Structure 1
Amino acid sequence: MIALKETHLLAELRDPATKVAAFDRLIKGYQEVLYHHIRRIVINHDDTDDVLQNTLIKAWQNLDKFRGDANIKTWIYRIATNEALNFLKKKKRQAFQEVEDLQNDLRHSLSSGRYVDGDEIQIRLQEAIIALPERQKLVFNLRYFDEMPYDEISSILGVTVGALKASYHHAVKKVEHHLKRYA
């Protein structure tokens, strides 16, 4: 059923007469999950909105280049992930910050953000996730929060399923260790 819907949407996205309306449906279908995915990477609400907007612009600009090898969800998640990572790299370069400084900034955004629930365990969980190496953080977010299967994550990140499973396992252990310190 999902494949049929996706095939139909892809056909509409390729037809100049229905492209705009189909892209609008695509945005409505994925905007919220992409927002949360990006937010877990960049943390700050305003930055997330900027990255989401860039993601949607890049998706629109590259729509004609989409070959359909992967499904649309995987394709748009890959764009969102790359945009979020590029944003963080650019932010780091602009501020000439060390990784620890960037993590501290992200932690500060966590505790002072107006869109972050003040629940102590949620803050501790997000702190643990922020401290993870980049790949582990991405794999953890996609697997834990988005409940994405490993084969989809593999398509998004371009990493083998075995490597993803190892990254996720290590990330879970590090998150558990961090949370146990506060138990």
Structure 2
Amino acid sequence: MKQVEDAEILEKFYNEKTRNEAFNLLINKYQQKIYWHIRRLVIDHDDTDDLVQDVFIKVWKNLEKFRNDSQLYTWIYRIATNESITFLNKKKNQNNIPLDEVSTALSETLTASSYFNGDKVQMKLQQALLILPDKQRLVFNMKYYDDMKYEEISAVLGTSVGALKASFHIAVKKIEEYMLKDDITF
């Protein structure tokens, strides 16, 4: 199936007669990317599904206000990122759970998940990511998994390219240390 350009999706969305078609095109184009972006942050499949739905509801409600001063996917990623961070913060604040216990709980969810089918090295990498602060994990995921350029990440997170490069570098070092801790070799 041919990939539809964002400009065409927006043009169809602004026309009342083709609005639903446009939204279906948008979901087809971005749902999987957004799912994996969120999934790498919140780990749990069911939570991710709920958040993806919330993200696209927000996109639907606010797409008319989209100013076209950024790329559409950047805008959607920003919404997905904010929803994920809000969700994680709520999870941390529920019952006053300390940050390290949230990471442990997410790691246990990952280990028990029937949706995770990775090998030992992949599991160790995912666990290493969970020890990172949210911002470093987010930057690492966007750069490593989503293959986004620093300028694109900057547009999503509203952070300077230099700060993003530093966050990514620190995240990589922490991941390397974690992976080498138990003699996991690549």
- Listed one character per residue, the Cα deviations across residues 9-41 of structure 1 (whole Å, up to 9, x for unaligned) are 221122212111111110011111111110000
Superposed CA RMSD in Å reads: 1.2
* C-alpha separation in 2, matches of 1:93 and 1:170: 26
Counterpart check, 1:78 vs 2:78:
yes
Paired residue secondary structure (2:17): coil
Residue 111 of structure 2: aligned partner: 111
Post-superposition offset of 1:5? 2.2
Whole-angstrom CA distance in 2 between matches of 1:163 and 1:67: 26
Partner Cα distance (1:14, 1:68) in 2: 13
Quote the Cα distance in structure 1 between the aligned partners of 2:168 and 2:143. Answer: 8
The within-5 A match list for 1:40-79 is: 40-79=40-79
Return the letter of the residue paired with 1:39: R
> Secondary structure of the equivalent of 1:62?
helix
Q: Which residue of 2 aligns with 1:120?
A: 120
Gaps in structure 1 of 5+ consecutive residues: none
Q: Which runs of 5+ in 2 are unaligned?
A: none
Residue 118 of structure 1: how far off its partner (Å): 4.3
Letter in 1 for 2:158: G
Other-structure match for 1:95 = 95
Amino acid at match of 2:147: E
Distance 2:25 2:98 in 1: 40
Provide the C-alpha distance between the structure 2 equivalents of 1:158 and 1:70, rounded to a whole number of angstroms.
12
CA distance in 1, matches of 2:43, 2:5: 32
CA distance in 1, matches of 2:158, 2:64: 21
CA drift at 1:182: 2.3
Partner residue in 1 for 2:175: 175
Aligned pair 1:19/2:19, yes or no? yes
Amino acid in structure 1 at the alignment position of 2:66 = F
**1: CA distance, partners of 2:67 / 2:5:** 17
Q: 1:118 to 1:145 in 2, by over 3 A?
A: closer
Task: Supply the distance in 2 between the matched residues of 1:60 and 1:28 (Cα, whole angstroms).
Answer: 14
Whether contact under 8 Å (1:111, 1:118) holds in the other structure is no
What per-residue deviation string (whole Å, max 9, x for no partner) do you get for residues 113-165 of structure 1? 11112411011101111101111100000000000111110000000111101
Cα offsets for 1:25-70 (capped at 9, x unmatched): 1001111111111000000010000111100111111111110111
